[in-house]
Amino acid sequence: MKASFLPRATYGVQAVYEAGWPSPPGMFEPELGQRMMEEMFEQVTRADELGFDWISFSEHHYAPLLVPTPNPAIFAAAAIQRIRRARIALFGPILPLRNPIHVAEEIAMLDVLSGGRLLLLFLRGVPYELRAFSVNPDEARAMTQEATLLITRALTDPQPFSWEGKYYHYQTVSVWPGLIQRPHPPLYSTGNSFESATFAASQGHGLALSYAPLSYIAQVIPHYRAEAAKHGWEPREDQIIFRGNLIATDTDEEAQQLAAQLAALPHLKRQQNPPSPSSSDGERNASPVAPVLIASAQFCGGPQTLVSQMKALHDLGVGVVDLVIPTGLMSQTQVLHSLELFAREVLPRIHDFGGE
């Protein structure tokens, strides 16, 4: 089993979190904003030195509530200069908000800058951010899937081509620079609904799950594997990813205290309502959709407890955990201690799962 780490930092002004989403721009203080970015770079550097397999980057808008990176490619490009060995997991271009050709060009640049260490996950986005950019949430899945196909072709077609789809129309597509990884970097698609997992399997993509309970994971992974078999392929272990919150402390008691604080954070509680089958995915009377449990600590405890929790995921078929240390819960000193504790006591043991 592999471990990935998503850097994030606390902005430092409680009123910003109390204001919720969107955060008023007038509340931004330059010194605090710069310090937040510096802390994230410090986390990136330390995680790479400690032996994390991947460093991941994600996209959110209008607030520092989750990650303060509206363009994860920019932050990843800066971080690449500090990441010497870990792979670069760009888990977050939100495709309905972006020009897919620009995304393809950014991907190509990052693959070259990283020396061929890039991994990709394309996201559909959450309803409130889609509406803020005047995107109909009911069309977001179809837009994401068409953009994914367009980007894949833009990265692999050796000749210029035109594209006439339902949502995207380009007379000429010809992406430079080219890629180091051929035919393209490893691709992942979300698995937070059965329909999305079916699409991932049909395209030969890895599966990415986030903040979901074990009961859902136990259903969707067999579905994804069965769909992949229909298309004549079998996913590798590292093609199934789970992102969750990490509270790593010296004792279980200390971790449980922090988990209770996490559950009480109002800006996270507002974002964890499970989507209904008739909401943004347009999945009326459809198969299961994963509840989103952002205000929960999916990995919580001392080292032995964390190993057991990750073994339970591995037994369900998860091959990579993408770890997020919750914003507003720990100081930078505590975050770095958690990374070091995890790397020393947990990482070597999960690397041995499955005889890796």
Higher pLDDT, 284 or 203: 203
3 pLDDT above the threshold of 50: yes
What does DSSP assign to residue 243? E
Q: Could you tell me the sign of the dihedral formed by the alpha carbons of 351, 299, 281, 136, in that order?
A: negative
283 pLDDT above the threshold of 90: no
- Confidence at 263, pLDDT banded by 50, 70, 90: confident
278 pLDDT above the threshold of 80: no
152 pLDDT above the threshold of 70: yes
**Residue 27: both structure tokens together:** 């509340």
| Residue spans per domain, the chain | 2-355
Buried b (16+ CB within 10 A) or exposed e, 112-150: ebbeebbbbbbbbbbbebbeeeebebeebbbbbbbbbeb
Q: 2-355: what fold?
A: TIM Barrel (3.20.20)
CA nearest 32: which of 8, 58, 57, 13?
Answer: 13
Average pLDDT of the residues of the chain: 90
Q: Using CB atoms within 10 Å of the CB of residue 81, give its burial: 0 to 12 exposed, 13 to 18 middle, 19+ buried.
A: exposed
- Confidence at 40, pLDDT banded by 50, 70, 90: very high
CA distance 243 to 246: 9
What is the predicted pLDDT for the residue at 331?
87
Q: For residues 296 and 272, is the Cβ–Cβ distance under 8 A?
A: yes
The least confident of 152-156, 202-206, 311-315, 331-335 is: 331-335
Mean pLDDT of 314-318: 97
CA nearest 89: which of 58, 131, 114, 119?
Answer: 119
What is the predicted pLDDT for the residue at 248?
95
If residue 335 lies in a helix (H) or strand (E), which one and from where to where?
Answer: helix 332-341
CA distance 145 to 93: 13
pLDDT digits (tens, 9 = 90+) for 224-236: 999 999 999 999 9
What is the predicted pLDDT for the residue at 356?
46
Contacts of 29 (CB under 8 A, 6+ apart): 13
- Confidence at 63, pLDDT banded by 50, 70, 90: confident
280 pLDDT above the threshold of 60: no
Mean pLDDT of 256-284: 58
- Confidence at 19, pLDDT banded by 50, 70, 90: confident
What is the predicted pLDDT for the residue at 189?
94
CA distance 100 to 105: 9
Tokens 């991994």, residue?
119
Mean pLDDT of 20-48: 93
What is the predicted pLDDT for the residue at 277?
33
272 pLDDT above the threshold of 60: no
64 pLDDT above the threshold of 70: yes
pLDDT digits (tens, 9 = 90+) for 166-207: 999 999 999 999 999 999 999 999 998 999 999 999 999 999
